Structure 1
Amino acid sequence: MSTTVAPGEVHLATSLAEATAMLADLGKDGEAVAGGTWTMRALQRHVTPRHGYIALKRLPELHGFEPGDAVDLGALMTHSELAAIDAGPAFECVRSAARESAFPQVRNVATVGGNIRAIGFAEADLVPALLAAEAQLKLHSPGGNEVVGLVDYLAGRETRPAGEIITRVQIPTPSNRRSAFERLTVRTTGEYPIVNVAVSADIADGVVRMARIAVGSVEPVAKLCAAATELIGRPADDVTAMKAVGEAAAAELNARDGRDAPGWYRTSVLPTLIQRALARLATDSN
């Protein structure tokens, strides 16, 4: 199609097909918007405004919440809405990340899809939580539908096809899974974290059977730490293992320097945050 979006215009899409077609037509000159909290900071980030913006809030496919063996979230669900969902211990890291992120005014409009899609937003709180929770993304583009793991999506986020929209986020919630989230801020404007950490583990008979540790705000993009595998087969309350894994995870990362904190400080505080989160898992599993 030929876009009818004028320079700087925000077009309110009335269907998913229309939204994806317009975004595909605009290419790098277009951007999808929901809460707009990241887009509105474009000039502060020294990013040139786009030619056109496609607003998604009227698309029903991107709203709603469905419980089940895997929690199914609409990509336009806000942080405040996420924080109100009680979907069990496997979902707790996501709920906590949403509840603790930013300020109430931001949480009321910022969306899960926007948090995932925000390129350059190292401090995003939901992203490490979703990584730890093994989130899968449902995507729609003019070429059709696709389901992609968040790990793979982040690895190629900057080269995803034009016109692609995150429609749903699915999070498995097995009964033996526990999760937790921790963050450290400096209490300045925006409440961005210096470090945020999410952990998730399957625990049976007091022993860790599977573990994931995701770290955000340390490197430019949140990532899973391989050190989590060292917890497998250990008692969930093994303090020595928690400490060792926290230190090993920090050693994996190439920390970034920023106005809020130097890289060395981020990796210095990271082991303690990981230990706190893991200790919470052990407490919740008893």
Structure 2
Amino acid sequence: MPAAAQSPPMVLPRSVADALAALALPGAQAVAGASWVMRAPLRHEPQAPTWVALAGIEDLHRCDITGDRVRLGALVTHDRLAHALPAAPDLRALAQAAAGAANPGVRRIATLGGNLCATGFAAADLAPALLALDATVEIATPQGRESLPMEDFLTRRGAPGPWLLTEVTIPRGPWRSAHARLPMRKAGDYPAAIVSLSATLTPERRIERLLAAIGAVEQAPRRWHALETRAKGEPLAALADLAQDTAGITARDALDAPGWYRLRILPTLVRRAAEAIAEDTA
């Protein structure tokens, strides 16, 4: 009889320092909820020779919410995040992203850190919301800890380790935010496109500052800087028309949707998010 396949070894660190030491092993990979790892065979990805399970690191479960900021440990799940966030207009985009991602089973185990570090996952919901909320990410390395704007982290997350995402911090303020997504099929499917917005309005209800982000459209989520620039001084109702100009966005073709379709639905998602923000400011 053929020998039974052996599972790769599992390391169970109790501190960030122990996790970094384990991640320095050749090919070692961090794992939290494992919702992304479990589908690795479908993506024809080899198993890591060593798994570093992070669940026992207490600091990574942090979920601190104050009137000034939100501090989230990397192991906070989507479900916990959706229930912990207050019903506040400035945080609404993140609450909607956490509550609407994937399906209930995945949301109960999928973590913030895993969602942000899955470089092959173009349709992650949390990343666009955090981009639109001007979040920062804390990274731990053997040399110490470093804070990065979310935008910078997303361009550097494929860097060789060892490193570990430990925390995300979100400032709070007078802005209003919203998150809009369009799944290709019924509930539980991943979206063909995502738009997250946060806007600060003048007393005349024109856009003073807009942060806009897209997800699922390109290979990685990113800010939509061109829309932000065009929107300054405009009414919220004009955003959908301004979003018709998608120059500079290279939409991806995939089994769930062609690139042209992702571009076509972006103005609709911008309109939905803008209308949600308008309702909060009425």
TM range (shorter): over 0.9
Name the SS of the counterpart of 1:264 in structure 2.
Answer: helix
2:242 equivalent among 237, 245, 251:
245
Query: 1:214 is matched with which residue?
Result: 213
Contact kept? 2:14, 2:58, Cα under 8 Å: no
Q: TM-score, normalised by structure 2?
A: 0.93
Deviation at 1:244, TM superposition (A): 2.5
Query: 1:49 is matched with which residue?
Result: 47
Deviation at 1:188, TM superposition (A): 5.8
Tell me the alpha carbon deviations over residues 77-115 of structure 1, each in whole angstroms, 9 at most, x when there is no partner.
Answer: 000011111162111101100100111100000011100
**Structure 1 stretch displaced more, 45-54 or 188-197:** 188-197
Residues of 1 paired with 2:45 and 2:259: CA distance? 24
Deviation at 1:36, TM superposition (A): 0.5
1:276 equivalent among 260, 272, 281:
272
Query: 1:259 is matched with which residue?
Result: 255
Cα RMSD over matched residues? 1.6
Deviation at 1:232, TM superposition (A): 1.4
Tell me the alpha carbon deviations over residues 34-55 of structure 1, each in whole angstroms, 9 at most, x when there is no partner.
Answer: 0001111111111111110100
Tell me the alpha carbon deviations over residues 112-145 of structure 1, each in whole angstroms, 9 at most, x when there is no partner.
Answer: 1100000110011111111111110011111111
Query: 1:179 is matched with which residue?
Result: 177
Residues of 1 paired with 2:43 and 2:186: CA distance? 17
Paired letter, 1:38: W
Deviation at 1:252, TM superposition (A): 2.7
Please say if 1:200 is aligned against 2:185: no
**Structure 1 unmatched ranges of 5 or more:** 1-5
Identity in percent = 39
Q: 1:279 to 1:41 in 2, by over 3 A?
A: same
Please say if 1:39 is aligned against 2:37: yes
Residues of 2 paired with 1:181 and 1:223: CA distance? 14
Query: 1:82 is matched with which residue?
Result: 81
**Structure 1 stretch displaced more, 41-50 or 104-113:** 41-50
Paired letter, 1:272: T
Name the SS of the counterpart of 1:108 in structure 2.
Answer: helix
Contact kept? 1:90, 1:172, Cα under 8 Å: no
**Structure 2 unmatched ranges of 5 or more:** 1-5
Alignment of 1:1-286 (within 5 A): 8-26=8-26, 29-68=27-66, 69-84=68-83, 85-86=85-86, 88-159=88-159, 161-174=160-173, 176-187=174-185, 191-205=189-203, 206-226=205-225, 227-236=227-236, 239=237, 241-248=238-245, 250-286=246-282
Contact kept? 1:135, 1:170, Cα under 8 Å: yes
Contact kept? 1:137, 1:148, Cα under 8 Å: yes
Tell me the alpha carbon deviations over residues 48-67 of structure 1, each in whole angstroms, 9 at most, x when there is no partner.
Answer: 11110100011111012112
